[in-house]
């Protein structure tokens, strides 16, 4: 089994790249990054491994924090609590995890598994189940693969521990876990359903930690050299420049617990005179240019600060910001008929046939 | 209404008198090391013009003296005059892995970090108790602070903008042990975001001694000048607070210089919505006026390397000014400047460094120094230099605009001669009388504000906004505003993702005139 040592510089890049892959949601990874800086100062180190190096009967823990990103800005998520969610799961299923993994590489949850791994001394698998961020638990490759949606461990920093032991579907797992999390104060560390090495190899999306680090490193290097960070990103990750513009309007509302809304942009540079809108449900879901569908899920829609290349989130985007919108390629599994049923435009209530910007 | 506005800048201390809506006097004096002398000099200079006296010879009644200063932010940026702080966070067992000062630059943390205590306490997003306040632990922390000689204390608590009761109780407990402690509660500094709010509190506590000395120097200067008027200090958002509150919360006065310039520009031009360009000696600030106030930065603002969530104007600064170095081949203007040495180093003043001011003298735009010394600069060259300065300004204006069409632009500051009458993306350029003292004018006309930023649950959107407005109004009145003059200038609401029960975060800001008496 080959393990790669991650430097703190790699993790800085991971945080920046994960925020871009968050496609507007998932929360800014700044606080997890601060935790990792502190853990590295204390001497903790993280190792990365390929899924291919897992034995079929190894067990892998999937780590994520659940809750409202805003609560995470006040009740800062503690690294030991994330580690405890993993330990609670291990004692519940009676297995020791060979490695830990992200549920969603996009946003803060792309970095949080490292916080648990630092305390527990386990490697991180270079894979996840979304290759981006999505708002719901059934929007994962493992749900599309029909793998078990339980058990889920849910723990609180004050010592509360819950297990969602048996539910019939991923949607039920989402509903029950969300209720517990809300009672805890809308922030909880979770260990999502455990996976065998064989399941990870067959159903997870591979190389996504490396992808986030590569994207982040390219943008950071361009920032240092005062080059165009977005051109640098597109040089290392196949994608498409969709629109350059300025935010002219932001409408937000919550429904069913999600942040939904529309952002409008007026074109700049080569896009002057043109308008774009993006509809979001935590993440950027569908974009229209001059009324015509432009890009839609599962293609990744990334809205970036035109100057720094860093991601702009749906919770914080504001009037007047100058942004560049790009599309990145989704993993193959989301393009299958079953994949599109889980994460295509209709899964978000848009009566649109998926059409890739890359076709 | 008769007010004196004073801007204590790095180089000059400007003073203006405004009577019944008109600028009747405007002067400049050099800023002094002890602050007091510079203010006294500027007031004396203003007095020497005769504007402060009635025709009978008696001193006029002044309703208020409003001072704006960059003193506090300079202390943080230059790492000077800072006090060691005892940091007390209420919120254990949460957030333990990111203690106070965790994201500070090490050099600044070394100067400000006295010691850190984290005890149980804090609230949930919906106002429920997160943990009961561990009062015994707070008292023990206070005793340890006392033993360590710490008198500046910053208290932060989880979700304190929603429920400040734990911070207030902890402040009482600390005061019981250290009666003369200067305590900053993070809930007095606003917004959701524990680390950023706590950072603001730590910076504020670190400025405790400087704030006390500076405000005392201001008060002495006013007293010594013989003017009997209440003292107000201007804040980042273009409003003022009474001196006592500024002494308690100096961080709110961080960015007031730039804000005052923009407010002054609005006042002098009579425009409420426009772009403003403030061209100084070294830098040019570009911002946008909305309803007569600068548009505020919404995101994290770094001060001296520390992340904060201050109410700060959204400004773009570029290295262009009256003292900017000019290189002719290839043509560059700025970003380096001779700064306050302009009258010594500029060619028109017998120095060796070509500056934008020299070019303006050669063109006959400015009547300063010795025109013969810059006679070698031909008109074509001068025009090229002006065009380059205009291009830099146009780029900055374009970056700060929030609408596609042409917008009006008000040009103020001592270097405003660099701004031509016709510019790309600008409908008209407005130069105003007394524009070089726009910052002191902005201080003189400042209003009082109140803000509310918190989460409301189980209310309709309209009810939540109305509740927030009531809180903001009460806060403005507490800060010295007359209730009848209050108007809402900002209202923003954001539903909270993932939270049930129609949770909505509302931010409302109101302003009003300073109450008489």
Output the CA torsion sign for B364, B370, B371, B373: negative
Residue A312, pLDDT > 70, answer yes
* Residue-averaged pLDDT of chain B: 88
Domain assignment of residue B279, yes or no: no
Distance from CA of B170 to the nearest CA of A (A): 18
Give a yes or no: residue B370 inside a domain.
Answer: no
Q: Which residues of A touch B94 (CB under 8 A)?
A: 75-76, 78, 157-158
On whether residue B326 sits in a domain, the answer given is no
Last residue of a domain, one of A206, A224, A257: A206
Domains held by chain B: number = 3
Residues B222, B139, single domain; the answer is no
Considering the domain boundaries, does residue A304 fall inside one?
yes
Instruction: Round to whole Å and give the CA distance between B402 and B407.
Output: 10
- Per-residue pLDDT, B211: 93
Residues in chain A: 359
- Which of A151, A184, A206 terminates a domain? The answer is A206
Domain assignment of residue A24, yes or no: yes
Cβ within 8 Å, pair A73-B498: no
Do B202 and B220 sit in the same domain of this protein? no
What does the alpha-carbon distance between residue B431 and residue B448 come to, in Å, rounded to a whole number? 27
Residues on chain B touching A71 (C-beta within 8 angstroms): 125, 499
> What residues of B are in contact with residue A68 (Cβ under 8 Å)?
125, 496-499
Same domain for B188 and B226, yes or no, is no
In a domain, B306, yes or no: no
Does the beta carbon of A262 lie under 8 angstroms from any beta carbon of chain B?
no
Q: Are the C-beta atoms of residues B509 and B490 closer than 8 Å to each other?
A: yes
* Structure confidence at residue A102 as a pLDDT band (50, 70, 90): very high
Residue A320 lies in a domain: yes
The answer to whether residue B464 neighbours chain A at the CB level (below 8 Å) is: no
Q: Which of A89-98, A315-324, B124-133, B282-291 has the highest mean pLDDT?
A: A89-98
Residues A243 and A300 in one domain: yes
Quick one: pLDDT at residue B280?
82
Please provide the average confidence, as pLDDT, over all residues in chain A. 94
CA of residue A91 relative to chain centroid, distance? 27
Q: What average pLDDT score do residues B236-245 get?
A: 83
Chain B residues within 8 A of A161 when measuring between CB atoms: none
Q: Domain containing A191 — which CATH number?
A: 3.40.1610.10
- In chain A, how many domains are there? 2
Residues spanned by the domain of A111: 3-206
Task: Point out the residue among B96, B125, B195 whose CB comes nearest to the CB of A185.
Answer: B125
- Specify the pLDDT at position A246: 85
Q: Which of B107-111, B405-409, B443-447 has the highest mean pLDDT?
A: B107-111
Percent of chain B with pLDDT over 90: 47
User: Nearest CB to B158: which of A75, A80, A259?
Assistant: A75
Give the pLDDT band of residue B33 (cuts 50, 70, 90). confident
Is the domain of A121 the same as that of A256? no
Tell me, yes or no, whether B67 and B100 share the same domain. Answer: no
B478 in the same domain as B507: yes
Q: Are residues A271 and A335 in the same domain?
A: yes
The whole domain housing B64 covers 2-74+213-254
Regarding whether B201 and B89 lie in a shared domain, the answer is: yes
Between B400 and A79, name the one with better pLDDT: A79
A117 touches chain B (CB under 8 A): no
pLDDT of residue B72: 83
* B178 and B128 co-located in one domain: yes
The phi and psi torsions of A58 (rounded to 5 degrees) equal: -65, 155
Contact flag B498-A67 (C-beta cutoff 8 Å) = yes
Give CA–CA dist A195/A145, Å, rounded.
Answer: 12
Write out the DSSP string of B314-327.
--EEES-STTEEEE
Boundary-marking domain end, from B206, B239, B268: B206
Residue B382 domain-assigned (yes or no): no
End-to-end CA separation in angstroms for chain A = 38
Work out the pLDDT band at A254, boundaries 50, 70, 90. low
Instruction: Identify the band that residue B188 occupies on the pLDDT scale cut at 50, 70 and 90.
Output: confident
**Rg (Cα) of chain A, in Å, rounded?**
19
Task: Tell me which residue in B124, B131, B500 faces A257 most closely, judged by beta carbons.
Answer: B500
Q: Does residue A293 share a domain with residue A185?
A: no
Name which of A186, A320, A322 is nearest B498 (Cβ-Cβ): A186
| Domain end point (choices B146, B172, B206) | B206
Dihedral of CA atoms B430, B436, B441, B446 in degrees, nearest 10, equals: 80
How many Cβ atoms sit within 10 Å of the Cβ of residue A42?
A: 8
Summarize the confidence of residues B479-502 as an average pLDDT: 75
- The C-alpha atoms of residue B276 and residue B294 are separated, in whole angstroms, by 9
Q: Is the pLDDT of residue A184 over 90?
A: yes
Residue A183 forms part of a structural domain: yes
Residues B6 and B118 in one domain: no
Is B167 found in the same domain as B127? yes
Spacing of C-alpha A210 from chain mean position: 14
pLDDT value at residue B501: 63
Residue A225 within any structural domain of the chain: no
Same domain, A59 and A167: yes
Task: Evaluate whether B287 touches B314 at the Cβ level (below 8 Å).
Answer: yes
Judged by CB atoms closer than 8 Å, whether chains meet at A257 and B91 is answered as: no
A318 touches chain B (CB under 8 A): yes
Task: Please state the separation of Cα B156 from the chain's center in Å.
Answer: 23
Q: Is residue B411 part of a domain?
A: no
The verdict on residue B395 lying in a domain is no
Cβ separation A80–B96 shorter than 8 A: yes
ipTM, 2 decimals? 0.90
**Nearest-CA residue of chain A relative to B129?**
A185
In angstroms, what separates the C-alpha of A182 from chain B's closest C-alpha? Answer: 7
Q: Chain A within 8 Å of B106 (Cβ-Cβ)?
A: no
> Which tokens hold the place of A194?
């455990």
Q: How confident is the model at residue B402 (pLDDT cuts 50, 70, 90)?
A: low
- CA B185 to chain A, closest CA, distance in angstroms equals 15
Residues of chain A with Cβ-Cβ distance to B295 below 8 Å are 320
**Chain B residues near residue A254 by CB distance under 8 angstroms:** 495-497, 499, 502-504
Do residue B94 and residue A320 have CB atoms under 8 angstroms apart?
no
Q: Which residue of A has its CA nearest to B122?
A: A75
Confirm or reject contact between B275 and chain A (CB < 8 A): no
Contact A158 B496 (CB under 8 A): no
B446 in reach of chain A (CB within 8 A): no
Pairing of strands A300-305, B426-431: unpaired
A332 located within any domain: yes
Q: Give the number of other Cβ atoms within 10 Å of residue A349's Cβ.
A: 11
Task: Report the C-alpha dihedral over residues B416, B418, B422, B427, rounded to 10 degrees.
Answer: -40
Residues A180 and A300 in one domain: no
Q: What is the mean pLDDT of residues A103-129?
A: 98
Give the closest of B96, B159, B503 to A74, CB-based: B159
Burial degree of B471 (CB within 10 A; 0-12, 13-18, 19+): middle
Residues B185 and B119 in one domain: yes
- Say yes or no to pLDDT of B497 above 60: no
Within a domain: residue A211? no
| Cα separation, A254 vs A282, whole angstroms | 10
Contacts of B404 in chain A (CB under 8 A): 246, 266, 272
Tell me, what's the pLDDT at A68? 80
Chain A residues near residue B102 by CB distance under 8 angstroms: 34, 38
By the 8 A CB rule, do B73 and B9 touch? Answer: no
Cα distance from B486 to chain A (closest Cα, Å)?
Answer: 26
- DSSP assignment letter at A35: H
Name the nearest CA neighbour of A341 among A283, A297, A286, A288. Answer: A297
For residue B514, the model assigns a pLDDT of 74
Q: pLDDT-derived band of residue B399, with 50, 70 and 90 as boundaries?
A: confident
Which residues of chain B lie closer than 8 angstroms to A70, CB-CB? 125, 192, 496-497, 505
Question: Is residue A25 within 8 Å of residue A107, measured between CB atoms?
Answer: yes
Q: B309 and chain A: CB distance < 8 Å anywhere?
A: no
Confidence of residue A195 (pLDDT cuts 50, 70, 90): very high
**Percent of chain B's residues with pLDDT above 70:** 96
Which range, A60-74, A243-257, A267-281, B143-157, is most confident? B143-157
Contact B125 A70 (CB under 8 A): yes
> What CATH number is given to the structural domain containing B116?
3.40.50
A-chain CB neighbours of B299 within 8 Å are 316, 318
pLDDT class of B172 with cuts at 50, 70, 90: very high
Q: How far is CA B131 from CA B373, B450, B509, in A?
A: 73, 30, 31
C-alpha distances in Å from residue B386, one per residue of A255, B191, B325 = 55, 43, 13
Q: CA of A158, closest CA in chain B: separation in Å? A: 6
Q: Are residues A124 and A52 in the same domain?
A: yes
DSSP A69: H
Residues 6 or more apart in contact with residue B55 via CB below 8 angstroms: none
pLDDT band at B28; cut points 50, 70, 90: confident
The pTM of this model reads 0.85
CB B193 within 8 A of CB B160: no
Enclosing H/E stretch for B214: helix B208-224
Q: Looking at the structure, do residues B139 and B110 belong to the same domain, yes or no?
A: yes
B240 - beta bridge partners? Answer: B234
Nearest CA in chain A to B96: A78
Residue B194 inside a domain? The answer is yes
DSSP letter for A331, please: P
Q: Which of B179, B87, B161 is nearest to B124 (CA)?
A: B161
- For B37-62, give the secondary structure using H, E and C: HHHHHHHHHHHHCCCCECCCCCECCC
Do B96 and B198 share a domain, yes or no?
yes
**Any idea which residue has 């306040």 for tokens?**
B133
Pair (A101, A183) in one structural domain: yes
Average pLDDT over residues B44-67: 87
Q: Residue B246 maps to which CATH number?
A: 3.30.420.40
Q: In this structure, is residue A138 part of a structural domain?
A: yes
């Amino acid at each position: 089994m080959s393990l790669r040592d991650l430097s703190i510089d790699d993790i800085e890049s991971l945080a920046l790249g994960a925020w871009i892959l968050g496609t507007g949601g998932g929360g800014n990874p700044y606080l997890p990054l601060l935790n990792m800086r502190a853990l590295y100062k204390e001497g903790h180190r993280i190792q990365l491994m390929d899924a291919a190096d897992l034995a079929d009967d190894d067990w892998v823990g999937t780590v994520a924090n659940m809750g409202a990103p805003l609560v995470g800005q006040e009740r800062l998520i503690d690294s030991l609590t994330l580690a405890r969610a993993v330990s609670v799961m291990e004692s519940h299923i009676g297995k020791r995890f060979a490695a830990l993994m992200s549920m969603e590489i996009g946003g803060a949850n792309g970095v949080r598994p490292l916080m648990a791994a630092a305390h527990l001394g386990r490697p991180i698998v270079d894979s996840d189940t979304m290759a981006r961020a999505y708002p719901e638990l059934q929007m994962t490759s493992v749900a599309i693969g029909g793998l078990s949606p339980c058990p889920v461990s849910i723990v609180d920093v004050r010592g509360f521990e819950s297990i969602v032991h048996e539910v019939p579907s991923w949607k039920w797992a989402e509903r029950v876990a969300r209720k517990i999390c809300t009672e805890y104060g809308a922030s909880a560390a979770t260990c999502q359903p455990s996976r065998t090495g064989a399941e990870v190899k067959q159903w997870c999306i591979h190389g996504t930690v490396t992808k986030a680090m590569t994207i982040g490193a390219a943008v950071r290097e361009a920032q240092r050299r005062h080059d165009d960070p977005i051109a640098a990103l597109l040089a290392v990750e196949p994608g498409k420049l969709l629109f350059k513009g300025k935010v002219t309007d932001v409408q937000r509302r919550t429904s069913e617990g999600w942040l939904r809304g529309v952002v409008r942009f007026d074109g700049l540079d080569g896009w002057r005179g043109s308008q774009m809108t993006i509809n979001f449900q935590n993440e950027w879901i569908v974009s229209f240019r001059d009324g015509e569908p432009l890009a839609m899920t599962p293609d990744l829609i990334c809205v970036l600060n035109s100057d720094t290349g860093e991601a702009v989130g749906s919770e914080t985007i504001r009037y007047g910001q100058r942004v560049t919108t790009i599309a990145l390629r989704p993993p193959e599994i989301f393009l299958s008929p079953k994949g599109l049923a889980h994460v295509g435009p209709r899964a978000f209530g848009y009566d649109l046939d998926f059409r890739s910007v890359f076709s | 209404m008769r007010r004196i506005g004073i801007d204590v800048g790095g180089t000059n201390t400007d003073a203006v008198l405004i009577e019944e809506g008109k600028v009747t006097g405007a002067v400049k004096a050099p800023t002094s090391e002890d602050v007091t002398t510079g203010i006294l000099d500027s007031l004396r200079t203003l007095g020497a013009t005769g504007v402060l006296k009635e025709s009978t010879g008696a001193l006029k009644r002044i309703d208020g003296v409003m001072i704006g200063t960059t003193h506090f932010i300079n202390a943080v940026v230059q790492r000077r005059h800072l006090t060691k702080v005892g940091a007390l966070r209420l919120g254990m067992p949460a957030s333990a892995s990111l203690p106070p000062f965790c994201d500070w630059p090490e050099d600044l943390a070394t100067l400000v970090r006295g010691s850190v205590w984290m005890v149980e306490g804090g609230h949930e997003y919906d106002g429920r108790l997160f943990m009961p306040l561990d009062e015994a632990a707070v008292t023990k922390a206070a005793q340890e602070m006392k033993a360590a000689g710490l008198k500046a204390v910053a208290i932060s608590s989880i979700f304190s903008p929603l429920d400040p009761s734990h911070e207030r109780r902890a402040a009482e407990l600390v005061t019981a042990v250290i009666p003369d402690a200067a305590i900053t509660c993070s809930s007095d500094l606003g917004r959701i975001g524990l680390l950023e709010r706590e950072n603001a509190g730590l910076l504020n506590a670190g400025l405790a001694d400087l704030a006390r000395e500076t405000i005392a120097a201001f008060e002495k200067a006013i007293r010594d000048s013989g003017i009997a008027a209440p003292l107000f200090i201007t804040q980042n958002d273009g409003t003022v607070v009474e001196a006592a509150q500024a002494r308690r919360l100096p961080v709110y006065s961080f960015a007031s210089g730039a804000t005052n310039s923009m407010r002054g520009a609005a006042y002098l031009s009579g425009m409420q919505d426009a772009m403003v360009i403030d061209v100084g000696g070294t830098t040019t600030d570009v911002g946008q006026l909305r309803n007569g106030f600068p548009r505020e930065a919404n995101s994290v603002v770094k001060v001296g390397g520390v992340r904060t969530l201050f109410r700060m104007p959204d400004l773009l600064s570029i290295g262009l000014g009256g003292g900017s170095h000019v290189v002719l081949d290839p043509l560059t203007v700025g970003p380096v400047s001779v700064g306050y040495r302009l009258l010594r180093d500029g060619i028109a003043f017998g120095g060796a460094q070509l500056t934008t001011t020299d070019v303006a003298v050669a063109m006959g735009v400015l009547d300063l120094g010795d025109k013969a010394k810059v006679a070698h600069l031909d008109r074509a060259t001068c025009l090229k230099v002006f065009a380059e300065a205009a291009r830099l300004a146009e780029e900055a204006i374009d970056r700060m605009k929030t609408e596609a069409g042409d917008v009006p632009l008000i040009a103020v500051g001592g270097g405003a001669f660099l701004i031509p009458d016709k510019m790309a993306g600008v409908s008209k350029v407005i130069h105003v009388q007394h524009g070089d003292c726009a910052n002191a004018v902005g201080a003189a006309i400042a209003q009082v504000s109140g803000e509310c930023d918190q989460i409301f649950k189980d209310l309709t959107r309209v009810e939540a906004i109305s509740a927030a407005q009531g809180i903001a109004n009460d806060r403005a009145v507490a800060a010295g505003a007359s209730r009848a003059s209050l108007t809402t200038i900002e209202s923003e609401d954001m539903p909270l993702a993932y939270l049930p029960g129609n949770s909505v975060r509302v931010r409302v800001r109101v302003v009003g005139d300073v109450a008489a008496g």
